[in-house]
Amino acid sequence: MDMRFSPEEEQFRLDVRDFLTRHLPQDIRLKVEHGQRLHKQDYVRWQDILRTKGWYAVNWPEAFGGPGWSPAQKYLFAQEYGALPCPPLVQFGVNMVGPVIYTYGNDEQKQRFLPRILANQDWWCQGYSEPGAGSDLASLKTSAVRDGDYYVVNGSKIWTTWAQWADWMFALVRTSHEARPQQGISFLLLDMKSPGITVRPIRLLDGDAEVNEVFFDNVRVPVSQRVGDEGVGWSYGKFLLEHERFVISGVARSRRLLGQLETLARERTDGTDGTGNSLWASQAIRLRFADLQTQLRVLELTELRFLSAMNAGQSPGVAASILKIRGTEIEQAISELALECMALDVAAFDEAFLDGQHGTSVTADGAAAAGPAYFNLRKVSIWGGSNEIQRNVLAKQVLGL
């Protein structure tokens, strides 16, 4: 297993770092650094910058308009991207449904949807979870009944991120009850402007409403918007989730956040012992940082091990769940440590500051966003398949238990 990068790959890393540093808009950079909420126009503007460079659909093959990068180039791009305060890429179109369409879609679907995804013109959302079907997606109940050249869709989805901004949804729906639950699921593409679709926001613990309930009342969806064969949607959905889990570890981003927090701890006094010492004077605090740094290094080496296998033509498959589990747990642990370091300064949410309104006072060390970040990140060990379920998958399919 060779984990070294070639001179050409190291030069690619430097080129990526230079471009991202020079082209990331200052107002968006400050929002990310301060933990303020990003709005649709922020994401679209930044993704247009990447698109102009040809670095938006970085995971796409060259045949469909991607850069045709090697696994090593994709990895290095992700590392440099996370090391800077760049907005997270909106994954639903470019990294989730896009690969499903160019892998399993027909020619008409490829010609219709892929150019608009590549051009950053359509905003997608994911219709998987339901009130009674989260990590156990096989129990989903949203139905799609065939009526000539249409499916009539009834039911609901929940925790649908940014559905309020979406033009399209890719959804798993039940088209049959006659076989095993997994065999009665199909993969549909729904126009969010269709009559009968209602979007209702859900306000989260951090005060934001980034997720929604989506209701379908006799929504007519053309059969031409079904990807692949009827009843095979479960397989397409698993393919999509493997793509999602491989890019979800966030090592570089977590390392950047931990570095910012270390700077704060070195400068900030705890105010409890009257000595004026910084938080860094506490051995307990230093040990917490050392433990997280070690965990991040181990996760990074695991990523590199998978990367080495991919360079040899081997897919990580379900083993990518390791990255999802550990990456989200470390992310939560960093947010918890930030909460402890900033103590009572995080007690009150400043909604005006979080929404990016000017003239709002905020502590220089970012305490205004630490509380909302902590509460918001409780979700990451659940989305993409809960970590408990992922451990079961690993036990059965990787360890053979």
Whether 244 is catalytic is: yes
Name residue 151's beta-bridge partners. 146, 221
Strand-strand pairing, 124-127 and 168-174: parallel
197 Cβ neighbours under 8 A, 6+ residues apart: 190, 214, 215, 216, 217, 219
Q: For the packed helices 251-267 and 283-311, what is the interaxial angle rounded to 10 degrees?
A: 160
Alpha carbons 7 and 307: distance in angstroms, whole number = 17
Tell me the backbone φ, ψ of residue 150, rounded to 5 degrees.
Answer: -130, 160
Residue 116, CA atoms < 13 Å, CB-side half-sphere: 13
Are 299 and 251 in contact by the 8 Å Cβ rule? The answer is: yes
CB crowding 375-387: b at 16 or more within 10 Å, else e: bbbebbbbbbbbb
Active site residue: 130, 244, 262, 303, which one? Answer: 244
Alpha carbons 372 and 347: distance in angstroms, whole number = 10
Residue listed under structure tokens 């997994």: 182
Query: Residue 387 is which amino acid?
Result: N
Catalytically active residues are 244
